[in-house]
Amino acid sequence: MSQTSKSYEKIWVTIDQIPDGKVASYGQIADLAGLPGRARLVGKSLRFVPPDRNVAWYKVLRSNGQIAFTKGSEQALLQTGLLQEHGVMVLNNRVKLAEFQWQPDLGELLFGLQY
């Protein structure tokens, strides 16, 4: 097992903890996964997600609430649709973080990370 694949695992597990209707930023996920400063690694890892693993990549946004893809791109539109299906309002390629950013409490984190 390489160190990096373990990091990916932690990232994916962390993303799995984001409840429906909430979102998180790349940096936030990196921090919660025990990888402070590795925001870009989170983005990387999402390209490496195996197909058989369901990771809610669409709940991960930039630190300012914007979708990471170019506005109008196919991926951005897809992500927008998925977010809205899950109860997150998306306006002009952005989410209002004040309302929708995930604020994890200790209970949720411990429950998720024990696996």
Binding-site ranges for DNA (CB under 7 A): 4, 7, 25-28, 37-44, 46-49, 57-58, 60, 62-64, 68-69, 79
* CB closer to DNA out of 27 and 112: 27
CB 33 within 8 A of CB 14: yes
Give the C-alpha separation, 55 to 99, whole Å. Answer: 22
* CB closer to DNA out of 64 and 114: 64
* CB closer to DNA out of 85 and 111: 85
Least separation, in Å, of the C-beta of 79 and DNA? Answer: 7
Least separation, in Å, of the C-beta of 25 and DNA? Answer: 4
- Of 105, 109, 104, which is closest to residue 22 (Cα–Cα)? 104
User: Any idea what DSSP says for residue 35?
Assistant: -
DSSP letters for 71-85: TTSHHHHHHHHHHHH
Least separation, in Å, of the C-beta of 113 and DNA? Answer: 20
